Structure formats: structure tokens, C-alpha cells
Structure 1
């Protein structure tokens, strides 16, 4: 038997141990390869979005490759650590340091090449489906044809081969510094009773609780400054939650005599205390990776599903066109007529009307509200616009009463200035009693805010208005506009000059849908990769300590525990180690979803439940798979 055959047989004998690692590497190679096919696909060059798509794909590939590099380094180190007794035995039998290093490099090279070949083959098999989904999300009129690029194959194979080899050398470097006895002992060391700090345990709960509070109360105005602060508290808080509070919690269970001495709880809790302490850093890492996967997937999916609702929120009217200045009225109506002709040609149903408006200036003792451009509408025209759009109008205003429309997500400062707010235009001025309402009319480039005034006030200002202070609006209502969103967006994207402003729900919807589709398409695979890596890390840790666990269960078997009782203890311990990180990650993600809900009009409940459910099914299947392997090993000690 040659040395290469010896290394190959070592990998073959440890197939079950390497399986999760191999599958995670295979998934990373597959996704990287399919993205590379998109980058080198010749038909992409014909589309306007090619630069955006290529930038997104390249960015995704960098993240996948960088994370895969760290994941492979960690995984290889874990496997080497779990086999240190084997390496120690080989050393005592006469294998040299250089031969041991060669064996490690050969083993990792074999797994790496197998992952690369299998990943490219699987990627090639799923490339057609990948391109179909890609075409659907990007709303391409036809599916991109099947294409396998030699450049994509070469790039994938080269980068991942280099990654596996560099990681092999890194692991060999760490192993070479250990003595024979250190290698032979492996991970076997005497254990002391786990200790914890009441102060750090309390601070961990306080840090996580404060991060949750910041997330729960976040809004449009403070979310971005708070995001960094939330991470500052949630990451160390989660770390000490595992390293300190988990030990404090299990010690509390041990003091509860009624619970501790009931059935097999004493054996489960006492051993679990050591497992939680030994695996605290690993559980912290798994929690963070899972939370990132849940949060990114849920947020992206929630934004994608909320496009229609947010279009209504940001653009209340279906379609509007506005111009400033009486000199532009004739050209403006000519443009409007062309737009309506296109609507008729596309057989898009609509109702329309025109209304007058004006641009005035604000006066206030408060600088934030002083000298702002405000578009004013007469209440009668406003009411007709609401009837056109099938919305409810606010109660009629008379005298100097007024309504100031303010977008809640954009600009809400002090409300007191409204009590002393005035508007002026030329020689005309009026003190108003204004109250805030939500935006019901589309904004425009000619005014910071929109205000509804009484017909009397509007007529007085209109008679005294200069030519460039008058505005004309043409509004269109399209029943079931979502059916014609793409056509409406194309039509309203008319080449108006700077004197005209067009706005439509369809244009906002299509833009948001496209941008979020790109982001979701690029981000979902990265999120899944993070989650699979988290599951693989748990798998590695189970295999790394399985020999020690078998000795423990063999002792329990000798003192009289039945097969059923030992399987029950093992299942409980595995379940806790598997689902505690999942549960904490879900709670972290739920508060992230709360931030999103505070910023959106659409409900994110259903998208959140959908994402968490999908991940739970995958995680539960992984748990059943690992549990079956673990309990099968237990039979050897019975």
C-alpha cells in the first residue's frame, strides 16, 4: 500500500465524520460556480442591468469564498483535533513529522478535489434551473439559455483548490508545534467543576435585554444610529449568555431538588453543565451564524413581499404629473395627452382630472420650519383628487384652518411650530391654524410639503400669484394598476424636462421589486450557506467528542441503565445543544423583524413565519440525522 493509498483509506474510513463537512463544501462550490456561470454568460452583456448584476454576483462570490475559507479552516482544525490520538499512535509507531504532515495534506486535498469536482457537476446539473429562476426574478422576457463556461470551471477549481491547500498548510503549522505526548493525549484533559460569575451572568441578560429594547423601539429616525449600538450589546451579551449564564442556570436546576432528583434529570443536567461550558464558544458562533441567516433571509423576503404596500405608502396617488409656471401649461398638457394615448394603446383603464396648485413660502419662529417651499391645494380640488383615487378626504377646512401633509418616515420634528405657522406669496400672507395629517397626495420637486387650505385662502393667494408660482397637476387613477405595473412604469418614465415631474405607484413598485429581487437572489444563497455551516459545526463538535461520550455512556450502562434510558439522555442532551442556539437565534431575528415592521406599512409576520419555518424544517432534519448516527454509536457500548 502506497502512502497516497494510506491517506485515501483514512478518508474512506472516516466518511461519516467528513460527510457534513463535504456537503457544506460542495454547496459552497456549487453556488460559487453557478454565480460564475452568470458572470461569464454571453447573453448578460445584452441587458442594461448587466453592470449591477455582475457587481452583485461578484460581491456575493467574495463573501461566499471568504466565509468558505474560514469555515474550511475551522472544520479542518476540528477534525485534526478529534483525531489527535490517532496521530499520536502513528507517531509512536514510527511515522515521521514530515510523513504525518504529508498525510494531513493528502487527506485534505482528496476531500477538496472531491468537493470541487462534485460541486461543479452538481452546479452544472442545476445551472439550467438556476438560470430560469434568475431570468424570472430579473423579469427577462426569455429564459437565459443553458451555458457552461470553461472560465467559470477554471476559476472555481483554481480558487477552491488554493483555499483547501492553504488551509491544510495552516493546520499542519499548528500541529507541528505539539509534542508526541500532547498529540497522543488529544483532547483528553482533566475537568474542573464549571464556574461562573453572577456579575457577568447578570450583565449578559442586561446587554441582550437592552439590545432588544433598542430594536423594539427603533423607527425611521433612529434605526441607523441604533444598528451599531445593538450589535455592540447583542454580540458580547450572547457570548456571556453561554459562557456564564448557562452555567448559572444549570446550577440553579441542580439546587431544585424536586426537579434534579426526578427520573433521569440528575444525569442529564450534571453532564449538560460540562457540555455547555465546553461548547460555549461553539454555541455562540452557531447562534450568531444562524441569527445572521434568519435575519438576512427574513428582512430580504419581507421587503420583497411588501413592495406593493410600500408603493401605496410612499406614492399615495396612482399616477401624477406636475409642472410649474403658466408658460409651461400648453406643453404640459401636450405631454399628458401623449401619455393618455399610450394608456389607451396598451388598453390600460384609467380616470383622470387636472387641478391647480401653488408654491408658497413658510414663515415661522422656528428655523426648521422657516422659509420652506410648500405646495398648497384648495380643499375642493383636494377632495376631487381623493374621490378620483377612491380615498377618504379629511373633514372640510374653512377660514384659516389647514392640513399639513407630512410623511412620517421622512420629516417629523417639533409640532409646536405649527401653532404659529404662516404662508406668504408676494404681497399676500396668511396666518394658519394647521394640523398634521399623513401624506395623501404625491410629493413633487417644487415643494417640501403639501398643504390643504380653504377655498377662500387658496383663491386669494392664486389671484396675487406670480406666473412661476402657479402649478398644474394631472392625476390618473388606474384600477388594479398592479396588473399593468411594468407598462405604466415604462410609460410614466417619459423623457420630461426639468419643468415637469412624474410620479407613479407602478414606477416605485417596479423599482423596489427589481432591486429587492436582485438583493434577495444574491443574499438567500449566502444566508443558506451560513445556516448550513452552523449545522455542520454542531456536527463536527459531536464527532469530536463522541469517543468521550461513548466512555461515559458505557459507565452508565455498567451501573444498570437500560438502552432506552441512555438513548433518552443522549437525545435530550443533543436536543438542547442543537435547539438552544436555534431558539436564541430566532429570538434575535424576531427583534430584527420588529425593526423592519416599525419601518414598513406591510405586515412582516407571514414572511417571518415562512422563513423561520423553512429553516426549522432543515434544522430538525439535520438533528434527526445526527441523532440517529449518535444513537447508533451508543449500541457499541451496550
Structure 2
């Protein structure tokens, strides 16, 4: 038997241990290749949406490649630690240190090349399906399957380089100790896990503080709290597994009624050692799973924007005439004609806005407004009723005013204004309950004033707002394409006379972007989630030999088959679901902080995402439990 044949058979012999690592690597290659098919597809090169899709997928390629590097590095280093006895046998039969390094290098490259072949192979088989799903979510015409040489070469070269570097690095780090140490590496009794009460309390304080800061975040302080909360959660999670979880197990051991009850003695004792031994792995699984949950959940939460658009755009078509040019009448007539041609029932409303010059403000802001859009209360009432909203404000009198709300996310701030005309002063007492105009139409700030005050403003510019109201904003998508670009038109040198917003077009554009981000996040999240499961899988099988000896000893003193199933199921359930539950808790508080950005609840979307991940984990758990019990019982016979 030649040396390459020996290496090949060595990999095949350990196929059960390498299975999850191999499949995870192949899945990473598959998703990387699918993204590359999109990026290099000749029919996706034109258009703003397509360009953004390419940018997002390129970013996802980089994220996945970096993650794959660390995933492979951690996996290979874990395998090496579990093979010390095998290395000892080979060294005893005359294998040199250099031959051992070459063997490890060739094994890693063999697995890596196999993962590349399988990943690209499945990519070619399922490429058409992914292209259809992706193009549908992005909102472009269905993409035909196209074999891209660039995608093939990029994927092959990138992962060949990755596996080569990892294989070279790990081969150089193979430690050959004394033969007696290598042989007894799996038989040495484990030391009693030690725990620090201070570090356990430190972990609890960090996690509770991080959760509190996340749960009480508002839109104003979220950006300032984000990095500290993330840092506190990461550090707290690490010490939770290395200290606090072991401390909890020791407390359970002191509860004699619980600890000495049937098989709990074995389950709890084993968990204390397992949690300590696998702390880093649990930490990685929790963080990776949290990232996957948050990425997918955040983008799935964007689905609430459908409801939010109705609030943010009271008029489905908004047209702001900035002067008295005759072209405005032609534009408005065109909009009305297009609505009639589409057989869309609508109502329209037209109000006057005055643009006043600002002399000063009471609040020291970096960029104080030079102009102020001012609307009378009676005109505000007309807009609110035309949009179908309830008027909750009482009529304004004298110098009373309200800050003009232009977005659901806008927060009221107490700012006083002094106008250049006669030094008139305005200090809004609050903001309007309803959105008056889309934020794109008010380039500076705006106020709603009393009708009396509105009449006082004479040395000002005037603008005219015309709103067209329909029952369904989606019906207006693509309306007035010669007047707007991607649903919006700002004043330019070529067309300085009006601002226009078509909510249907803006909605389609925004939904296309979010669907595209969700498509990218789903695939990246799937890679992260499968990798997290792989960590658990090969860690479990790395301890199989030790578990076999332990359970073999216990069976000699009367452990029944039913009790063995119960112990293994309890331990596997805790090992599989503790990291996932902790990740769920982390994600739940992250979504509580995210909720501050949405005036509408995102709870349903978040629950659906977390439930989907939980179902996937349950399926994976029962599959692994079945295989693990089968292999364990075979070894016990």
C-alpha cells in the first residue's frame, strides 16, 4: 500500500467523524458558488437593483470566506487533538515527524478538494433553482442558467487556497509528545472542573446589564449603546460557559434530593465536565447562532414596512410645485390621466405652503435650518382627512405651532425659531400626530401654525402641494416615470421646479432591496447555522470513545438500556439546546432594541424566524441522537 493510499483509507476510515465538517465545508462552497453565479451572470449587470444585488452578494462572499477560514481552522485543530492515540500508534511503527506532517497535510487537502467538488457539483445541479428564487426575490426577470467560468475559477481557486493554507498551518502545528502520553491521552482521568465565584458573578452581571441596556434602548441612544452591549454580551457569554454554567452544575450537585434521584447523578456529573471541556465550542456556537438569528430576523422584520409605508406616505402620489411655472399644470394633468388610464379611483387635494427665512434658533444644532416650511392648521386638517386619518389635535391660535412630522421614526425636539420677517417667533409645543408630507418633500424643517399666524407671513416664498389619494399604494408603481426616477424627483439644474414622490414605486424599490438582503442573509445564516451544528457534531463524536468506556463500566453495575437512552437523550438535549437557547435569549433582547426603530410591532416576524431555526435544530437533534445511540450501543456490545 502506497503512502497516498494510506492517507485516503485513513480519511475513509474516519468518515463518521469528518462527516459534518465535510458537509459544512461543501455547503459553504455551494453557497459561495451560487453567489458567484449571480455576480458573473451576464443578464444581471444592468439596473440599480441589480448593481446593489451584486454589491451585497460580493460582501456576502467575503463574509463567508472569512468565516469558512476560521471554521476550517477550528475544526481541523479539534480533530488533531482527538487523534493523539492514532498518532502514537503510527509513531511507534516507525512513522517520522515529517511523514506525520505530510499525512495531516494530505488528509486535509483530500477533504478540502472533495468538499470543493461536491459543493460546485451541487451548485451546478441546483444553480437554476437558486437563480429563479434569487431573481424573484430581487425583483428582476427570471435568470436562465448560465455556466460562468469566472464563478467556477473564483470558487475553486479561493477554496483551494483556503484549504492549502489551513492544511499547511495545521501540519506545522502537529505536536508529537512522548509515546506514552499519546497512548494515554484518551484514558487520563479528567480533573475536577474548577470554578471562580467572582467570575461567575461577573458573567451574570455582564449579561443582565447587557440585557437591561438592550431592553431599555430608544432610537436616540441605541447607536451609543450598541457596541458596549455587544461587548458585554460576548464577554458575559464566554464566562457563562467557562464559569457560571459549571457553578450552576455544582450547586445542583449539592441538592441531594435532585442529585441522587435515579440517573441524575450520572447526568449532572457528566454535564459539569462536558460544559467545562466544551466551553469554547459552546461559546462559538452561541455567538455564530446569534449572528445568524439576528441577521435573518432583522431583515424579516422589514416586512412591517408595508404597513409603515401607508403611514409615512399619506398621499400615494405627492407633488410639490416650488414656483408658478405653467409646466406644473401639464404634469398634474399627466398624473391624473395616468390614474384614469389605470382605472385607479382617487381623490386629490391641493394646499399652499409658505417658505419663511429663519434668522436664528434656540437650540444649538450643527446645521441650523435656513428656511422653514409653514402650513396652516386648516390646510393640515384637509390633508389629514384626505388621507383617511383621525384629526387628534385641537385648532391652533395665536403663535401656537406644531412641529411637522414627516416620518414614523422622527422624534420631536424642542426648538424655537425666530423668523427674519419682523422677528416673529415660533416655538412648537409638540409634533403633529400624523405625517403631513413624505420627508423627501420637506428639505428643511416644517411647522404647522394657526391660520391667523399663517396670514401674517407675507414676505415669503410660496409652494403648492398636490396630493393624490388611492386605496392601494402598490397600484401607483411606475406612475409618471418621465417625471420621477426610481419613484422620486428632487429639484435639479435641469428641472428645478418641483419635488415629486410616488409611494408605489418607492415601496417596490425598497421591498426589492429588503428581499434581496433577506435572500443573501438566509443563505449566509444557513451556512452559520449548519456550521454551528457541525461544531456540536464532531465534538460529540470526538468524545465517543471516552463515553463508550464510561457507559460500559456503568452497564456492568446494572444500567439498563432504557436508562442509557434516558441519560444520553438528556445530555444530548442539553448540549444541543443550551447554546441555542442562550442564542435565542441574546437575539430576543437584540430584537427588543431593534423594535425602537419601528412604530409597528415586529414580534410576529421575529417569532416566525426563531421558530424556524428551532424546528431545524430539533430535526438535527433527533437525527444525531439516533446515530449516536446506534454507534454507542454497537460499541457496548
Place the TM-score, normalised by the shorter chain, in its bin.
over 0.9
Q: 1:324 offset after TM fit, Å?
A: 3.0
- Measured after TM superposition, the shift of residue 176 of structure 1 is 4.5
Instruction: State the shift of 1:592 in Å.
Output: 1.1
Q: How does 1:327-406 map to 2 (within 5 A)?
A: 327-328=324-325, 330-361=326-357, 365-368=362-365, 373-400=371-398, 401-406=400-405
SS of structure 1 residue aligned to 2:466: strand
In 1, are the aligned partners of 2:404 and 2:445 still within 8 Å (CA)?
yes
Instruction: Write the deviation string for residues 395-423 of structure 1: whole angstroms up to 9, x where unpaired.
Output: 4414223332345633433x4x5xxx566
> How far apart, in 1, do the equivalents of 2:426 and 2:623 lie?
74
Shift of 1:346: 3.5
Listed as ranges, the matches of 1:25-424 within 5 Å are 25-140=25-140, 142-176=141-175, 178-303=177-302, 305-325=303-323, 327-328=324-325, 330-361=326-357, 365-368=362-365, 373-400=371-398, 401-406=400-405, 407=407, 409-413=409-413, 415=414, 421=416, 424=419
Instruction: Report SS of the residue matched to 2:429.
Output: strand
Alignment partner of 2:390: what SS?
coil
* 8 A Cα contact 2:311 2:408, kept in partner: no
Q: How far apart are 1:472 and its partner, in Å?
A: 0.8
Q: State the Cα distance separating 1:35 from its structure 2 match.
A: 1.1
Match of 2:470 in 1: 478
Aligned partners of 2:403 and 2:412 also within 8 Å: no
2:238 and 2:481 mapped to 1: Cα distance? Answer: 49
Q: Distance in 1 between matches of 2:428 and 2:94?
A: 94
- How far residue 224 of structure 1 moved from its aligned partner, in angstroms, is 1.4
Contact 1:88 1:185 in 2 (8 A): no
Kept in 2, the 8 Å contact 1:405–1:438? The answer is: no
Q: Distance in 2 between matches of 1:547 and 1:444?
A: 66
In the alignment, does 2:451 pair up with 1:455? yes
Tell which deviates more after alignment, 231-240 or 422-431: 422-431
User: Cα gap change, 1:199/1:498 in structure 2, threshold over 3 Å: closer, same or farther?
Assistant: farther
Moved more, 377-386 or 605-614: 377-386
1:227-286 CA-to-partner distances (Å, cap 9, x unmatched) read 111111100101111111111111111111211111211111112111111111111111
- The answer to which of 515-524 and 609-618 deviates more is 515-524
Q: Distance in 1 between matches of 2:617 and 2:151?
A: 31
User: Aligned ranges for residues 565-604 of structure 1 at < 5 Å?
Assistant: 565-604=563-602
Count residues with an aligned counterpart.
Answer: 625
Q: Distance in 1 between matches of 2:470 and 2:17?
A: 61
Aligned-pair distance for 1:433? 7.0
Q: Distance in 2 between matches of 1:262 and 1:176?
A: 43
Per-residue deviation at 1:172?
A: 1.1
**By how many angstroms is 1:204 displaced?**
0.7
Gaps of 5+ in 2: none
Give deviations 1:593-625, integer Å, cap 9, x for gaps. Answer: 112212112321121111111111221121112
2 CA distance for matches of 1:40 and 1:408? 39
Root-mean-square deviation (CA, aligned residues, Å) is 2.4
User: 2:601, 2:218 → 1: CA distance?
Assistant: 15
TM-score, normalised by the number of residues in structure 1: 0.92
Larger proportion of helix? 1
For residue 503 of structure 1, report the CA deviation from its aligned partner: 2.6
CA contact 1:7–1:107 (8 Å) conserved in 2: yes
- Checking the alignment, whether the CA contact within 8 Å between 2:408 and 2:599 is kept in structure 1 is no
Structure 1 equivalent of residue 630 of structure 2: 632
Q: Which residue of 1 aligns with 2:459?
A: 465
Displacement of 1:313 in angstroms is 4.0
Where in structure 1 are there 5+ consecutive unaligned residues?
Answer: none
C-alpha contact (below 8 Å) 2:476/2:502 kept by paired residues = no
Judged with a 3 Å threshold, the aligned counterparts in structure 2 of structure 1 residues 222 and 376 are, in CA distance, closer, same or farther, namely same
